[in-house]
Amino acid sequence: MSGTEDLLVEAGRLAAELDTADPPTLLDVRWRLVGPPGRDDYRAGHLPGAVFVDLDTELCGPPGPAGRHPLPDPAALQAALRAAGVRAGHPVVVYDGGDGMSAARAWWTLRWAGHGPVRVLTGGYPAWLAAGLPTSTEQPNPAEGDLTVRPGALPALDAAGAAELAAAESGLLLDVRAAPRYRGEHEPVDPVAGHVPGAVNLPAPEYVAEGRFPAAEVLRERFAAAGVVPGAPVGAYCGSGVTAAQAVLALHLAGRPDAALYVGSWSNWVADPDRPVATSGTADA
């Protein structure tokens, strides 16, 4: 079981680690679904030494039938991470604007790419500011990294895998979007409303608040209440695989490192009009 210290880091501890001879590599991955790009926030101020990496264009592939945030091309991802100074076996810390979603997707992507030592800064940039720690507007020019991307180190689902998991008697597919989106009453982003038949709704605020997770035991209880069973397969999806990556991180914290991410999520599912859509408030609609 991965411990919290292997997955998350508090601002004070990170500051101490940065004040060493060989500090972790810092990646600023601030991002918004709509609104000004995260790079603007980075230019206005960031953790000293942090390099900005764009979620949309560097950590994900181009939007299309595979979803709004599909898996990146491994060679392109490797080039982006090496340009950011990511070195094989060297610790990485990722942070975002505080909600923890894009940081979790960056964490998942690096882990999926075979890079194990990566943590998320709890509370993101606001937590760093709240701790009174220094910021910078200097954009570093890191030495080229040497990470080799080896895809598949974390489990990922495609549409067929998601459908199989949702229909399995002993498995569970979690839909972590807001309940009205799950029920098909409201869909602000994608062209079709509803959910994957058989999926169970567990909205993100039930296991994370403002980028902070409760204790592992509390997470285990909340996932168990949703139907997560020890030893049985579990996966998660959202609109485009960003919020769901945070659910996978929460499942890791709860002792489920086998949890799978449906990367394309709902934006991939509805790209094929032949895929079934459920629109009630129950998983077996």
- The DSSP secondary structure of 229-265, one letter per residue, reads -TTS-EEEE-SSSSHHHHHHHHHHHTT-TT-EEESSH
Count of the separate structural domains present in the chain: 2
* Domain shared by 14 and 124, yes or no: yes
Residues 25 and 82 in one domain: yes
Shared-domain flag, residues 115 and 168: no
**pLDDT value for 80:** 98
Note whether residue 76 is domain-resident: yes
In a domain, 196, yes or no: yes
**pTM tops 0.75:** yes
Look at residue 35 in the predicted model and tell me its pLDDT: 78
Q: Are residues 124 and 34 in the same domain?
A: yes
Q: Let me know whether 121 and 163 are in one domain.
A: no
- The answer on 213 and 111 residing in a single domain is no
Taking each continuous run of H as one helix and of E as one strand, the counts in the chain are 11, 10
Residue 259 lies in a domain: yes
For all residues of the chain together, what is the average pLDDT? 95
Given this model, what pLDDT does residue 248 score?
Answer: 98
* Residues annotated catalytic, as ranges: 238
Range of the domain at 244: 156-269
111, 164: one domain: no
Q: Is residue 138 part of a domain?
A: no
Q: Report if residue 146 sits inside a domain.
A: no
φ/ψ (deg, to 5) at 74: -55, -40
Task: Please enumerate in sequence order all residues whose Cβ is within 8 A of that of 176, keeping only pairs 6 or more positions apart, or say none.
Answer: 201, 202, 203, 204, 236, 237, 238, 243, 244, 246, 247
**Which pLDDT belongs to residue 67?**
97
Residue 226 falls within a domain, yes or no? yes
Rounded Cα distance, 104 and 97, in Å: 12
Same domain, 126 and 44: yes
Distance, in Å, from the CA atom of 70 to the CA atom of 62, rounded to the nearest integer, reads 7
pLDDT tens digits, residue range 194-228?
Answer: 999 999 999 999 999 989 999 999 999 999 999 99
Q: Is residue 282 part of a domain?
A: no
- Which residues of the chain are under the pLDDT cut of 50? 1, 285
Question: Which residues lie closer than 8 Å to 251 by C-beta, 6 or more apart?
Answer: 219, 223, 228, 234, 236, 257, 259
The CA-based dihedral angle spanning residues 181, 203, 33, 163, taken in that order and rounded to the nearest 10 degrees: -70
Q: Are residues 126 and 172 in the same domain?
A: no
Residues 54, 98 share a domain: yes
Asked whether residue 280 is assigned to any structural domain, the reply reads no
CATH number at residue 260: 3.40.250.10
Please indicate, yes or no, whether residues 182 and 237 belong to a single structural domain of this protein.
yes
* Token reading at 77: 């991802």
Kindly state whether residues 33 and 97 are assigned to the same domain. yes
